[in-house]
Amino acid sequence: MGEIYALGVNFKTAPVEVRERLACSPEEARGILPELKTSSGVEELCILSTCNRVEIYTFSSSEGSVELLLELFLKLKGLEEAKKHVFIRKGEQAVFHVFKVASSLDSMVVGEPQIVAQFKESFRIAREMGTTGKILNRLFEKALRASKRVRVETGVSRNAVSVSYAAVELAKKIFGDLRKAKVLLVGAGEMGELAANYLKRLGCQIFITNRTYERALRLSQELGGNALRFEELEELLPTMDIVIVSTGSKSFVLTEKMVKEAMKRRNYEPMFIIDISVPRNVDPAVGKIDEVFLYDIDDLKEVVESNLKDRMKEAKRGEIILWDEVKKFMGWMESLRVEPLILKLKEKVKDAEKRDPYLRRLVFRAIREMKRNPEAAPIIFRIFDEEVKDVNRREGLSYVYNRADGA
């Protein structure tokens, strides 16, 4: 019986220049998986490649095959010197690592949801290429189950930990249902664009303006929004519920006077303004206007840092759940060691078991005890063997007695 191994590099062990050179696209993974499996001699393997990690999960009955697998992979990637950055885990520790990765508890941003899709995709490719089998199939199935338990039973993915997403979460708290909200993106900064994209997914109407109209037009096509001319900003501001300001301007784009006038025209219906610009593009005095909710980059970072602390607390709870799932999986692995004895036991009594209720109970009890205590399985098998002989002996004596009595 072999062991499960986890090996590779991630953001904790290797710099980005090493990780990007070891990264495997889906097409490359399809090409090298069968070659690595055949050449190394491992029984099963899968490669998980993301921007933060390139890891190999394998099942092998030989530690030497695993070492050879690593050498072959590094050689194929032309980066044999990267071995110093590689971690290797075996058995229970390897299983815990796989479960932790799938649950995003090992991610750079704890609780980020993308890893689950990446994990599923890597498994799908390996299974498609025929490099997984009974052990890794079960490992991945249980890792995804563990991941779901962590998400459902803890708050590890509940709070926003990116500035853009934190802005959206705050908007949801202020407006509740965002499906009818009108969002104006002023400028084309990356974080503002991300926030607008999140809001679009929630059903908001997106409007974009920029000093360069062509840029606003191009971005509106990408986001499925509407481009507005920058000169129209003051006129259209009263119609907007959420305003995201993300420009490179050195002065205020939204002034106190401009927003006061807009609020009068919208009868003081709430307006949420997010200033993600550095330096700030919204006059801080705007935040004192009635029914205006103004947040700048520092406010959002405070929310993110607070949420990160909460996530780290929840991650500790998540690890307790993972160890529970790891123990169950290792129990299943142990039970595989006694499969040959169980098959031998069933073969020994396959005909007699059907007609003898006592023997059926005996088989059930023996298999149950073997699975519970795999180390004692050979002893249990010998005891069972003796019991079967006694049953056969009693059957034989009964037959002799009945013949004699009938004579």
Here the tokens at position 142 are: 């249980």
Annotated catalytic residue within 24, 46, 51, 204? 51
H or E element that contains 7: strand 3-10
Residues 6+ apart with CB under 8 A from 249: 187, 277, 281
Here the tokens at position 17 are: 């220049």
In DSSP notation, 9-50 reads EETTTS-HHHHHHH---HHHHHHHHHHHHHHH--SEEEEEE-
Cα–Cα dist 2/63, whole Å: 9
Whether residue 197 contacts residue 191, with contact meaning beta carbons closer than 8 Å, is answered with no
- Nearest CA to 361 out of 397, 369, 336 is that of 369
Cα–Cα dist 6/99, whole Å: 11
Whether residue 7 contacts residue 88, with contact meaning beta carbons closer than 8 Å, is answered with yes
Mapped onto helix, strand or coil, the DSSP state of residue 5 is: strand
Whether residue 5 contacts residue 18, with contact meaning beta carbons closer than 8 Å, is answered with no
Active site residue 51: yes
- Nearest CA to 36 out of 98, 120, 129, 151 is that of 129
Cα–Cα dist 215/402, whole Å: 101
Label residues 7-23 b or e (16+ Cβ within 10 Å = b): bbbbeeebeeebbeebb
Mapped onto helix, strand or coil, the DSSP state of residue 245 is: strand
Here the tokens at position 274 are: 């997010």
> Measured between alpha carbons, how far is residue 218 from residues 185, 188, 196, 262, 392 in Å?
13, 10, 14, 27, 86
Whether residue 232 contacts residue 244, with contact meaning beta carbons closer than 8 Å, is answered with no
Active site amino acids: 51
